[in-house]
Amino acid sequence: MLHFRFEAIKNALPEEIDQFRTAASAEGFGFVERLIDDFESGANRFSQPGECLCMVCRADTFIGVGGINIDPYAANSAIGRVRRFYISPEARRLGAGQALLKHLEMCAAATFESLRLRTTNPVAALFYESQGYERVNGDDAVTHVKKLSNPL
């Protein structure tokens, strides 16, 4: 079994994030660019209560990033949102995405009742469904939701 390490991103994005910007853009994903722009401008630093932004590493290599925000589309602040989740193409199918998502869910469980997300990517949708997220129909702001169990 592969071992992954998680690090919280607090004050500055890691230098390697630029590689993710390039790779994600090449795949047609603009959300890593938005992550960088929003973090650097201060628009979203994942710094509200319960929010977090983490990177996942294998050995000393940065292979993924993802965060949890208070869901801006929900009326209830106890609903979190999975945001800016990206695993480098060469690290996919190694369990890094699953490990990072579980880590984020554990961090979120102390604050949020459930997590929501929106994806238009069918492969990503299948990934989230394999991790216990249920498909939501008829809501432009959300495609998937998962109720969290508070470990406390």
Residue 66 tokens read as 């993802």
pLDDT for the residue 150: 62
pLDDT for the residue 149: 80
Question: Which of the residue ranges 1-5, 12-16, 112-116, 126-130 would you say has the lowest mean pLDDT?
Answer: 1-5
**Dihedral sign, CA of 88, 120, 115, 146?**
negative
Q: What is the mean pLDDT of residues 60-74?
A: 94
CA distance 13 to 112: 25
Q: What is the mean pLDDT of residues 129-146?
A: 95
Q: In terms of CATH, what superfamily is 5-147?
A: Gcn5-related N-acetyltransferase (GNAT) (3.40.630.30)
Q: What is the pTM assigned to this prediction?
A: 0.92
